Amino acid sequence: MQHPLALQIGAAALLAWLGGCESGAVAASSRAGGATASGRFEPPPERTSEVMPGGATSISQPAGAPPAFDLPAANLRPDQRTAFYAGRALARQPWVKAPSSTDARDGLGPLYNARSCLACHVRGGRGRVSTADGQLSTATLVRLSLPGRDPSVGVLPEPTYGTQLQLRSIALREQLPGSGGRSGVRLSSIPAEAGVAVRWLEQAYRYPDGSEVVLRRPEIALEGLGYGPLHAETRIGLRHTPPLHGLGLLALIDQEDIARLADPDDRDGDGVSGRQNRVWDPIDGRARPGRFGLKANQASLRVQVAAALRTDVGITSSVFPEQPCTAAQPRCQRAPGGALAGEAEISDDLLALLVGFVRSIGVPRRRTADHPLVRRGRGLFYRTGCASCHAPSFVTGSDPSAPHLSGQEIWPYTDLLLHDMGPGLSDGRRDYLAAGSEWRTPPLWGVGLARAVRKDVGLLHDGRARTVEEAVLWHDGEARASRERYAGLAARDRRALLSFVRSL
Ligand code: HEC
Ligand code: HEC
């Protein structure tokens, strides 16, 4: 059955731009907005540091084992390595329901999506989008909100279900009233919030030279809503799991370096603006530029990790002491927690260990940087304007607590800014300043290994793109001119450009 709120991602808009592309190739120079004349898109000379995108943290993948995005930075000292592995174990082992004999690891739920971080971030990377039987996978989240926003949450939560659908729940032991001198205990589940069916809608994209690519986008239907209907104005957005490598380096990019790349009013007239999100930081109790999350809606890694613990696993912390139960979910609110009254389910020490793990994951070295096709693609990456948003390099600032991350020349290919990607990629949900169609430019380092880490993952915010090529073909809005320049290239040049991206 099709739920009335089934997610519809701008079919008309998609057709409009597909039509637009078919009706005429745009020559590589004609849409450059003066940029070609100014030489803005000229590729800079290649540097040897480009093969080490994470600077001295860069790692080679271990021989004989599948590649992973949860391996320690190459330059971690032995004592830091011990802490890294302890943090990784914490991210990997499933949390259990309270009360249990393992005090430090109980408190799962009452409502949750998965039992551990790495159940979704598989080997530190992405999860899959949907299962073989047409359900949304655990690793893809369904976010909810109403129009408008609460200044400290960024969105206006749906009144019954909150900001995220938790698809799983724990069972509670309930004491039965005694009869005939006997009393009993029964297990009864707190209702999970919903099941989510996903259907893939296919659409052909035709290049100006006539060759075709099949694109797909998800349409979801909510089934078995556990607490009654959703508010009629609910906006629904999907979030596919991003990979975790290199985030400690991104955290150390100077705020000024990012601000310098922003051009919210497009003063230089190149059609690409880019702006920073401004979000609430519950640790400092003030608004700050956002850097993490697909809409840059979290200020720091510590807040991002604490938010994941709370909303994805149901673990409270000193940053977020409340469970994500709404007033409409009294059994969720009454369920026993995994901590003593007034304490959080995860201690600050263990939270720091988890953040330390995420922060110190190494970035994979590039594999095929010196192949002639890749070299040629590098030039085209700049010439088509990809680098306007996928900003190639930075030097990280310094943090005395993380010398291994400090002062590194890095090549993440992101400006960490929000860009309007057009109606086809919009989820219609505002998050702080980010509109439905605005997304943070994702880093491209390691993107070529995504499918080796796990073969059925997707790219883009909802995992709809199965390949780098599909991801590029969905670019619209501010990225439209760049996508058209790419699409207008000869087939072998398109291949070269894609090989470059896959070499990252
Ligand atoms: C149920 C699946 C799921 C679980 C469990 C989960 N995550 Fe995530 N994670 C996601 C998704 C989806 C996003 C993107 C969310 C968004 O931006 O709205 C994300 C985003 C992140 C980010 C931001 C990445 C970036 O590029 O900015 C970090 C860091 C992160 N998660 C760490 C963790 C940690 C640590 C845990 C365990 C406490 C965890 N996650 C548990 C699915 C999950
Ligand atoms: C106007 C800014 C902009 C330009 C120009 C741009 N991109 Fe992107 N790119 C983005 C944003 C934002 C996303 C994320 C969109 C989403 O998740 O819905 C993205 C996503 C991607 C992804 C998917 C990455 C992932 O981890 O999911 C790839 C690959 C990519 N871009 C490659 C390119 C290439 C190649 C070019 C040049 C032909 C290009 N981009 C031009 C902003 C841009």
**326: pLDDT strictly greater than 80:** yes
295 lines ligand 2 (CB under 6 A): no
Cβ(441) – ligand 2 distance below 6 Å = yes
Shortest-distance atom of ligand 1 to CA 291: 27
Give the Å distances, CA to CA, from 334 to 104, 109, 111, 169, 174: 21, 12, 12, 13, 12
Helices (H), 286-339: 301-308, 330-334
The verdict on residue 4 lying in a domain is no
- Chain position carrying tokens 């943070």: 440
Q: Is 479 in the pocket of ligand 2 (CB under 6 A)?
A: yes
Higher-confidence residue of 355 and 188: namely: 355
- Is pLDDT of 471 > 70? yes
Report yes or no on whether pTM surpasses 0.85. yes
Q: Is residue 282 part of a domain?
A: yes
Q: Is the pLDDT score of 467 beyond 90?
A: yes
Q: Is the CB of 304 under 6 A from ligand 1?
A: yes
Looking at the CA of 141, name the nearest ligand.
Answer: 1
**Residue 335 confidence (pLDDT) above 90:** no
* Mean predicted confidence (pLDDT) in 314-323: 94
Task: Decide whether any atom of ligand 1 lies within 6 Å of the 319 Cβ.
Answer: no
- Which tens digit of pLDDT belongs to each residue from 425-454? 999 999 999 999 999 999 999 999 999 999
CA-nearest residue for atom 9, ligand 2, is: 441
460 lines ligand 2 (CB under 6 A): yes
- Residue 178: inside a domain, yes or no? no
Residues 349-406 have pLDDT tens digits of: 999 999 999 999 999 999 999 999 999 999 999 999 999 999 999 999 999 999 999 9
**Residue whose CA is at the smallest distance from ligand 2 atom 29:** 468
Give the total number of structural domains in the chain: 1
User: From atom 22 of ligand 1, which residue's Cα is the shortest distance away?
Assistant: 293
pLDDT the model gives residue 500: 98
The response to whether residue 317 sits with its C-beta less than 6 Å from ligand 1 reads no
pLDDT at 356: 98
Q: Which residues of 465-488 are buried (b: 16+ CB within 10 A; e: fewer)?
A: bbebbbbbbbbbbbbbbbbbbbbb
Residue 389 CB–ligand 2 contact under 6 Å: yes
Of the ligands numbered here, which is closest to the C-alpha atom of 298? 1
Ligand 2 centroid to residue 138 C-alpha, Å = 25
Q: What is the 3-state secondary structure (H, E, C) of 377-405?
A: HHHHHHHCCHHHCCCCCEECCCCCCCCCC
User: Which atom from ligand 1 is nearest to the alpha carbon of 295?
Assistant: 17
Q: Which tokens in the block code for residue 45?
A: 């000379």
Residue 39 pLDDT: 57
Question: Quick one: pLDDT at residue 179?
Answer: 59
Percent of the chain beyond pLDDT 90?
78
Q: Per residue in 227-277, pLDDT tens?
A: 999 999 999 999 999 999 999 999 999 999 999 999 999 998 989 999 999
Q: Residue 239 C-alpha to ligand 1 middle, in angstroms? A: 9
Would you say residue 282 has pLDDT above 70?
A: yes
475 Cα–ligand 2 center, Å:
6
**Mean predicted lDDT score pLDDT of the chain:** 89
Distance 418 CA to ligand 2 centre (A): 11
| pLDDT at residue 27, as a whole number | 30
Cα of 242 to ligand 1 centre, how many Å?
7
What letter does residue 81 receive in the DSSP assignment?
H
* pLDDT value of position 37: 38
Contact 440/293 with Cβ under 8 angstroms?
A: yes
- Return the H-helix or E-strand segment holding 173: strand 171-179
Q: For residues 2 and 38, which has the higher predicted lDDT (pLDDT)? A: 38
> Nearest ligand, CA of residue 136?
1
What residue's CA is closest to ligand 2, atom 40? 386
Closest ligand 1 atom, residue 240 Cα = 12
Which residue of 247, 441, 480, 498 sits with most ligand 2 atoms within 8 Å of its CB, as the best mutation to test the pocket? 441
Backbone angles phi, psi at 294, to 5 degrees: -70, -20
Strand, coil or helix: 262: coil
Q: Quote the CA–CA distance of 393 and 49 in Å, as a whole number.
A: 10
Query: Tens digit of pLDDT for each residue in 5-49?
Result: 333 333 333 333 233 332 223 233 232 233 443 457 899 999 999
Rounded to whole angstroms, the Cα distance separating 187 from 171 reads 6
Residue with structure tokens 């004592």?
A: 79
Percent of the chain with pLDDT over 70: 91
Cα–Cα–Cα angle for 361, 409, 240, nearest 5°?
Answer: 40
Domain hosting 39: range is 11-172+187-502
- Is position 3 within any domain? no
pLDDT score for 9: 32
Token pair listed for 334: 């009454």
- For residue 1, what pLDDT band results from cuts at 50, 70 and 90? very low
Question: What pLDDT score was predicted for residue 17?
Answer: 28
Of 421, 422, 439, residue with least CA distance to 13: 422
Q: How far apart are CA 258 and CA 243, in angstroms?
A: 21
What pLDDT is stored for residue 447 in this prediction?
A: 97
Residue at 2 is within a domain: no
Question: Residue 286: beta bridge partners?
Answer: 281
Q: Which of 40, 126, 213, 389 most suits a substitution to test ligand 2, by most atoms within 8 Å of the C-beta?
A: 389
- 488 located within any domain: yes
468 lines ligand 2 (CB under 6 A): yes
Of 149, 197, 144, give the one whose Cα is nearest residue 166: 144
User: Does a structural domain hold residue 35?
Assistant: yes
Per-residue pLDDT reduced to its tens digit, 134-156: 999 999 999 999 998 888 889 99
- 135 or 188, which is more confident: 135
The band of 182, judged by pLDDT with boundaries at 50, 70 and 90, is low
Q: Is residue 179 part of a domain?
A: no
The residue to mutate among 302, 304, 319, 355, having the most atoms of ligand 1 within 8 angstroms of its beta carbon, is: 304
pLDDT for position 7? 32
Q: Determine the atom of ligand 1 nearest the C-alpha atom of 143.
A: 18
Of all protein residues, the one whose alpha carbon is nearest to atom 24 of ligand 1 is 293
Provide the pLDDT confidence category of residue 178 given band limits of 50, 70 and 90: low
